[in-house]
Amino acid sequence: MSKYTILFLLSSIQWIYSQSVNFEKSIETAFEKAKANNKIVFIEYYNTDCSICKSIEPLFDNPEIAAFYNSNFVSYKMNLKNGLNGQDSLFMAQTKLKFSGVPFFLFFDNAKNFIHYSGAKNDVNYILNIGKKALNKDERLGNVENKYNAGDRSIKTLYSYTDLLQLQQDYAMANKVTSQLYEVYPKQNLSSHQSYLILKNAVTSIDNGFFKYWYENKDKLTGFEKGPNSGTEIKLLEQIVIQSIRNEKQDWDLSKIKEVKQITVNLGMSKDGNDFLWEDEVNLLIKYNENEETQNLFKLLLNQSKNIYSSLYITDYFVNRANEPLVIKTILVSIQELMKSDMEAEQKGDLMLQELICYQKLKDFSNLNSKKQKALDFYKKSGLDTELLNQL
């Protein structure tokens, strides 16, 4: 081999290892090049204002990372700072993946099928290992559904599949899989750090066995977080309660709502349990004609109201849903009592409208007509829109 060939090879190697990761200018260009070269597309999903993203950025100039990613992937940056542009937004919508923050490393085959993702941090080996997992079909997150459908119920597969389902916002299936994860999990290890990580990363339902265990053993839920997050472990239970309410409350009956209310009290999220589910409880109480309980809840909520705005919201909510005369009369008395308070014309006008709706539901047309005329005079004098009054 001549010295010129050696020098050329050395210079070529030096050139390869001196390069940065090459990021394409558009998502479409990235996939066109990936298809032409039979490569995987790597997307850095980030925000230029994100401190972690900023710390990772210099690593794309690392020779080892640059050589590995340029050899194996076609790369593209997706910056969320000012919202995604048209092409990027359309692409992410088509993936049906939802991310709550940044940064994430995403990987797709050249047909735009999702194959893997990972969080990211400022560590060369960590970033290299993310790419290696994306290249390994057995390690890819996108392949875990196939493993599950083939009957794999190992802890690793169930845990990974739950992660994917949460990205896809398929919470019903995620809850099913996480329940299966609890079934196969060694119960003697429930107080372990691994169990805590499952609670933290996989559980979104209060009906899950991991939640129930840690809720019943709150005194053991400590010492797992370090640094600035130290002492925040109990907050996980609160977050799961919120997620469960958001995703599952439409299927709850009155007994379940009361159970969840008690959980919020026991976790210190609410003094009496009425901070999260009272609207849903009202709907069910009215649906099943639980008139006495409806009246009691109305009085309790109104008594706890801190200002005229929240009082108006409460009375309006009940007025527009209740139909039983006893309940309507209870609401009417409270509305008339509220009218004696000092308030702006708009708020008083709202109460007048609610009062008229009560009379209408009670079929008390004598009071409805006389009160309506007074309300019309007040609305006109105060410059309020009379459209809703005229509809009565």
Of 139, 161, 179, the one marking the end of a domain is 139
pTM: 0.80
With vertex at residue 217, the alpha carbon angle to CA 214 and CA 222, rounded to the nearest 5 degrees, is: 80
Q: How confident is the model at residue 382 (pLDDT cuts 50, 70, 90)?
A: very high
Residue ranges with strand state E in the chain? 23-24, 40-46, 73-79, 104-108, 114-119
Number of domains in the chain: 2
- Domain harbouring 86, CATH code: 3.40.30.10
Coil, helix or strand for 116? Answer: strand
Cα angle 54-55-60, degrees, rounded to a multiple of 5: 90
Q: Does residue 56 lie in a domain region?
A: yes
Name the one residue in this structure whose structure tokens are 């990974």: 160
Residue 17: pLDDT over 60: no
| Higher per-residue pLDDT: 15 or 207 | 207
Give the residue from 108, 139, 170 where a domain finishes. Answer: 139
Whether 301 maps to a domain, the answer reads yes
What is the pLDDT of the chain when averaged over all its residues? Answer: 93
**Residue 123's domain spans which residues?**
11-139
User: Does residue 236 lie within any of the structural domains?
Assistant: no
Q: Is 38 exposed, middle or buried (0-12, 13-18, 19+ CB in 10 A)?
A: exposed
> Is residue 172 included in any domain, yes or no?
no
Per-residue pLDDT band for 71 (boundaries 50, 70, 90) equals very high
Q: How confident is the model at residue 7 (pLDDT cuts 50, 70, 90)?
A: very low
Q: Determine what percent of the chain is predicted with pLDDT higher than 70.
A: 95
Closest CA to 70 of 15, 8, 133: 15
Q: With beta carbons less than 8 A apart as the criterion, state whether 48 and 112 touch.
A: no
Residue 2's pLDDT band, with cuts at 50, 70 and 90, is: low
| pLDDT at position 216 over 50 | yes
Residue 8 has pLDDT above 60, yes or no: no
Q: What is the mean pLDDT of residues 269-278?
A: 94
1 belongs to a structural domain: no
- Domain endpoint, select from 139, 170, 194: 139
Which helix (H) or strand (E) segment holds residue 34: the answer is: helix 27-37
Tell me: pLDDT of 15 over 50.
Answer: no
Indicate the DSSP class of residue 391. Answer: T
| Phi and psi, residue 110, nearest 5° | -75, 0
* Sequential DSSP letters for 104-169: EEEEE-TTS-EEEEEE--S-HHHHHHHHHHHH-TTT-GGGHHHHHHTT---HHHHHHHHHHHHHTT
Q: Exposed, middle or buried: residue 148 (CB in 10 Å: 0-12, 13-18, 19+)?
A: buried
Q: Is the residue at 326 inside a domain?
A: yes
Whether residue 182 lies inside any domain: the answer is no
Checking if the pLDDT of 12 tops 70, the result is: no
In a domain, 90, yes or no: yes
What is the CATH number for 324? 1.25.40
* % the chain with pLDDT above 90: 89
Could you give the CA distance from residue 171 to residue 173 in angstroms, rounded to a whole number? 5
